[in-house]
Amino acid sequence: MVKLLGAASIGLCAVYMGASLTCDLIRRVQAVGALRDVLLSMRQKLSGWQLPLPALLRETAQEHAGCYSAFLSRSAARLERERRKPADQILSECFRKEAPKSLTEEARRCALRVFATLGKLDAASQEQMLDRAVEELDLLETRLREDQRRRSRCYLALGLCGGLAITILLV
């Protein structure tokens, strides 16, 4: 009986590992989608309201109560507090500290490119830059979704088959 319980628990752990890997893929897709939504919202606010950068970040943080709201709020506060420091440096530092760990390196580079130029260009150039970044993140999200579908089935199947194989071997 103890041997059977041990085999079953080890088998379930293998299944859990497969499910955990699948959840990591889902978190990656969600992080990229949320970043795209934040940049799209910033672009709409920039073109419609023409807010100064700290107010733009604060408004976007209130609208998006997700994984980027802390980054946006802290960036806005630091921009107002540290006026002598360049905005791109503050935004880059805050993004590096606050960005979700599940965000892909390609999405990080895209966001850092945006934050390095945000506030330096005229409104039309900033809108174009944000449009390009949103398009780039759309393509990345599409690729990640396809990769997630393909890999998640594989991870779940490997976890299930591995768990069954271990259970059979131990019983």
**Is the pLDDT score of 139 beyond 90?**
yes
**Is the pLDDT score of 46 beyond 80?**
no
Confidence of residue 49 (pLDDT cuts 50, 70, 90): low
Using alpha carbons, list the distances in angstroms from residue 121 to 62, 108, 114, 126: 24, 21, 11, 6
- Output the average pLDDT for the chain: 81
Distance of alpha carbon 156 from alpha carbon 22, whole angstroms? 7
pLDDT of 94: 86
Higher pLDDT, 3 or 110: 110
Instruction: Convert the pLDDT of each residue in 63-122 to its tens digit.
Output: 876 778 888 888 888 888 888 888 888 888 888 888 888 888 898 898 888 888 877 777
Long-range contacts of 116-122 (CB under 8 A, 24+ apart): 116/88, 116/91, 116/92, 117/88, 118/53, 118/87, 118/88, 118/91, 119/53, 119/87, 119/88, 120/87, 120/88
pLDDT of 138: 92
Q: Which of 29, 27, 23 is nearest to 137 (CA)?
A: 29
Percent of the chain with pLDDT over 70: 85
**Is the pLDDT score of 160 beyond 90?**
no
Please spell the DSSP secondary structure of 124-143, one letter per residue: HHHHHHHHHHHHHHHHHHHH
> Which residues in 69-138 belong to E strands, given as ranges?
none
